[in-house]
Amino acid sequence: MRTIEAASLQVEGVELAFGTNKVLRGVDLAVPAGHTACVIGPSGSGKSTLLRAINRLLEPDAGDVKLGGESVLRGDPDVLRRRIGMVFQHFNLFPHKTVLDNITLPLRKIKKLDTDAAQEAAREQLELVGLKEKAAARPGNLSGGQQQRVAIARALAMKPEVMLFDEATSALDPELVKGVLALMADLAQAGMTMVVVTHEMGFAREVADQVAFMDHGVVVESGVPEQVFTDADSPRLRQFLSQVL
């Protein structure tokens, strides 16, 4: 994988409510440059909301988000989204555009690359995710695993400093999960800063530098995988792990 210019990410006391529903109640998470943090926790605990608050698809009510030590909450959200790539459970590809166009579109619209430069960057990324021969295909003619690899290529083509993954393999047929996890593991290995919301405990154990357990809008406990999975302090984390492992 090509050289990556990754940045550190700090989430400090982030709060966010939907009306009266306080979904994030002071989230702290520090991910050094090049590290992978896996976020685990029950459904409804605020994991997706946290990722959306990090790249300002939702604006936090309080707290701060820092990239490379600098707050990103006051600048232009579009600039921030160039620096932070996000991959969703349901891929979010444009169904009527080719694979290549899906990747070149943000490069042209947001990065203002000309068509040739955008296509060159897109083809390079497609090759890295093993889908060079699918450039002219429509997403609907690809497997879910291939579609997710296209979505990852689209995010990586922007040369982000941080990548966020929200249950990137949850919608995939079981036999397609491994290929996407392997790509994510390669990216972690290559030195990307990553926040990975996942139910794949094997991935968290093997790939994460740190695992953060969220419940009711806070990070209840975090640590290296070995500690979190075998020697958790919090009763809530112990109970969660007893249900998922």
Pick the closer one to ligand ADP by CB: 19 or 69. 19
With a CB cutoff of 8 Å and minimum separation 6, the contacts of 167 are 48, 89, 197, 198, 199
How does strand 193-197 pair with strand 21-31?
unpaired
Report, in Å, the least distance between residue 45 CB and ligand ADP.
Answer: 4
Residue with tokens 């296209």: 150
Q: Give the separation between CA 232 and CA 239, rounded to whole angstroms.
A: 10
Interface map 113-142 toward Mg ion (x if CB under 5 A): ------------------------------
Report, in Å, the least distance between residue 21 CB and ligand ADP.
Answer: 6
For residue 23, count other CB atoms closer than 10 A to its CB.
Answer: 19
Number of residues in contact with ligand ADP, rule: CB under 6 A? 11
Report, in Å, the least distance between residue 181 CB and Mg ion.
Answer: 18
Q: Is 198 in the site for ligand ADP (CB under 6 A)?
A: no
Taking CB under 6 A as the binding criterion, the range among 36-44, 108-116, 151-159, 175-183 that sits at the site for ligand ADP is 36-44
Pick the closer one to ligand ADP by CB: 65 or 113. 65
Task: Tell which positions 43-82 bind ligand ADP, by CB under 6 A.
Answer: 43-49
DSSP H helices in the chain: 47-54, 77-83, 99-109, 115-128, 144-157, 174-189, 201-207, 225-230, 235-244
Q: Is 243 in the site for ligand ADP (CB under 6 A)?
A: no
